[in-house]
Structure 1
Amino acid sequence: MDVYYSPLACSLASRIALYEAGAEARFHRVDTKAGRTAEGEDYRAVNPKGLVPAIRTPDGEVLTENAAVLQYIADAYPEAGLAPQGFERYRLQQWLNFISSELHKFVFTPLLSPKFDDAAKAVAREAGAERFAHLDAHLAGREWILDRFSVADAYLAAVLNWAQAVRFDLDEYPAVIAYRDRLRARPAVARALGEEFAEYRLAA
């Protein structure tokens, strides 16, 4: 499997999921602004949207969009138990969509991007307070988003990592902070974060 990523972007979730599964993959770093991989490949020939993550499966199929990529990885390595079956699979999709649309895109994209003005960032922070309150209530008394660690936790690990960068204060959400600390202590998450932080610092 080929995995196209940018350090500390949401593609971090794919790395976490693969490490959780104990799986091998070829990782290709992408400069999304230049539209090229570190090997010089035209990334838009892989993913015309120019965004990460993307994966190329062993059969040569290219898959994009984080929620789809993560579920593919989970299904490719079922012994890792990263995605439930039956009705709980819909719960997983529910949370993948919440993380993607309500946190990643609605809150953190405006806060991380210089293309958004101060008014848009203020709206994002206000929205973030409501959404993190919902997440905090869900996580109170729970170890993970579902009954066990899943690809939704891998995605949320990537997204929560951005809070410090944009100075989004999580102190009002003790269950989220405790959850974040559990994530960081998990070997696959710690390994993935450590590797991508090192790459990010080298590129800065």
Structure 2
Amino acid sequence: MGRPRFLRSLVGGRAGADRSAARSEAPPPIDAARAEQRRELADTHGWSYAEVHQAAIQGWPRTALPPGPLGRVRHEITGRHRGRPFRIFDYVHHGAAGAPWQRIEVCAVALPVPVPYVYIREVRGAEGEDDVYAESRDSRFAVELLSESLRADLRRYGLTDLVLDRDVLICTSDGGGPSDSESKLEALTDVVERVPADVWARWGDT
């Protein structure tokens, strides 16, 4: 079965999907305060909230999530920001059996078109300077995408680790950028919109 596209996964598919989560160890209980915080944020903007939604990461590349057993998706918000679909959620995970559970926040923003997979990361060189690199199965797209202006935008927002997979841009709280949800969403949306339209047009659906 093919991996569902990001936009398609924003609706439907919740019934039964959460039962497919790995059950090796019981995760921590739902954080009531976190749930209330996310509900209020969603209500303020007219977005949708789901306390649990495991299908949100169905088909995602493993490089977009921490290593180890598949974690749990909690406190998900979905909607549109500046007209662009997005989702924000907590990913509760642990690296190995017996290891403590950890939580990171994940923010994913829809791209204008499906594109080749790209992993963008900040790397510190031998001289101590930081640089931004892009890895992709299609190096031509990676080179064109990671222009000097995009590098400047990533540095301006402090974004250090991003994944573009088909029709979605993914960044976790481990990937740098603003610490609060709305500011992170604004930064990622801005990055997507500042890529020239002709770049998306050339590489869309390739």
Same fold, judged at TM 0.5 (above): no
The normalised TM-score by structure 1 is 0.25
Of structures 1 and 2, the one scoring higher in RCO (CA 8 A, sep 6+) is 1
The normalised TM-score by structure 2 is 0.25
Higher strand share: 2
